[in-house]
Amino acid sequence: MSYYKPKFQHPKLPKNELGYTVADYDGAVSTLCAGCGHDSISGAIRNACFLSAIPPHRIAKLSGIGCSSKMPTYFLGKSHGFNSVHGRMPSVATGASVANRDLIYLGVSGDGDTASIGMGQFVHLIRRNVNMTYIVANNGCYGLTKGQDSATADLGSVGKYGVKNPFDGIDLASLAVLQGASFVARSFSGDKEQLEPLIRAAMAHRGFAFIDVVSPCVTFANNVGSTRSYAATRDNLDAMPIDFVPMREEIRTQYKEGSSQTVTLHDGSIIHLHKASRKYKPDSREDALMALQTANRTGKVLTGLLYLDTDSQDLNHTLALATKPLNSLGKDELCPGSRVLKSINEGLR
């Protein structure tokens, strides 16, 4: 296997506003199986951060355990990273976000890490509305341990060994909507045109942004009968395309009237949703749940921005925590002294 990527680049590789090329957002060469959907998600994250011109050192990557959780090594090699215990990335992310609210947090997890061992942590992360982007690379199987069905595998989906899954799968997107997540999206690793703007929008969103990404396991679930193979996902894909325009850019694309709707984020960035003819309202939890249930019943993979609350307030705001990262506070602020302690104690008498 090649662990080395040549240093030569296209001499005309475009640069973003920071003067970086997309290659500056590269990580190490992936050690995942060739053709893994996860690598494509890594590529989409890399491209999204490049396009949004986010300085790599302002991003912190967090993950748990699993094929998915190896991913952060393979993108944003110049960002911060924390590879935590299995299913416990939410606690680490919560702590990190509270300690340094200025970093951009990007959690990467898998269906096992989120829907099995990490389920308890996941729902509380949503409930607390921690300001982060949480991507699940969802392949419906445990690729790292030879492809057993995971908790999100669809009922009746056939694994590589020919056995049908006898259980209903957990639909993480529905769960996130139901649990009150302020940004819920679903996408497909093979659809970067949609995934990239979704990641950019999620990173611009204030609060918890969840993206469930169908990511075929090329080794253990890309067979006939698997509902999450490249072919089956494409056959059943019902994609709602979106565009993302950051606040500082002018809108260049012309949209036909009635063909799209726009959503403005708290920072002035704009999301354009196409296929608006379905009268889909992304600010309605009921509509989102209805659409997801209908898609699930008909075997469709509905992708796009499913739900968005633009007025969301994140954990730091809700708890009225320090407005600056703790590491920027001085000794006097962190330890105000016995006089302040005394006045607090007095207040409690």
Partner 1 sequence: MQATDTTNPEYFHKVVDCQYACPAHTPVPAYIRLIAQQRYTDAYLINWESNVFPGVLGRTCDRPCEPACRRGRVEAEPVAICRLKRVAADFKDEVADMLPKAGPPNGKKVALIGAGPASLTVARDLAPLGYEVHLYDAQAKGGGFMRSQIPSFRLPESVLDEEIGYILNMGISTVFNTYVDSMAGMLTKGYDAIFVGSGAPRGRDLPKLPGRKEADANIHIGINWLANVAFEHTKEIGKRVIVLGGGNTAMDCCRTSRRLGGEEVKVIVRSPFADMKASPWEKEDAVHEGIPIIDNHVPREFVIEKGKLVGMTFDKVEAIYQEDGRRDLVSTGEDPVFFPCDDVLIAIGQENAFPWIEKETGIRFTSWGTPIINDDETFQSTRKEVFFGGDSAFGPSNIITAVAHGHKAAVSIDLYCQGKNLSKRPPPHVTLVGQKMGIHEWSYDSIPITDERKIVPLEDLKKSLNDRMVEVELGFDVETAFIEAERCLNCDAQTVFTDANCIECDACTDICPTSCITFTQNAPEGELRNKLLVPAENTDQDLYVSGTLPTGRVMVKDEDVCLHCGLCAERCPTAAWDMQMFLYNMAKATPDLVDVK
List residues near partner 1 by CB under 8 A: 1-2, 4-14, 22-23, 29-30, 33-37, 39-40, 42-43, 46, 189-190, 192, 216, 218, 222, 230-231, 234
CB of 147 to partner 1, least distance (A): 15
| CB of residue 323 to partner 1, shortest distance in Å | 39
Q: Closer to partner 1 by CB, 4 or 331: give it.
A: 4
Nearer to partner 1, 43 or 66 (CB): 43
**Residue 88: CB minimum distance to partner 1, A:** 29
- Of 49 and 117, the one with the shorter C-beta distance to partner 1 is 49
Give the span between the Cα atoms of 197 and 181, in whole angstroms. Answer: 19
Given phi > 0 = left and psi -120 to 50 = alpha, else beta, which region is 112?
alpha
136, β-bridge pairs = 109, 212
Closest CB to partner 1 among residues 169, 216 = 216
Looking at the Cβ atoms of 13 and 99, the one nearer to partner 1 is: 13
Nearer to partner 1, 5 or 278 (CB): 5
> Phi, psi at residue 237, to the nearest 5°?
-70, 130
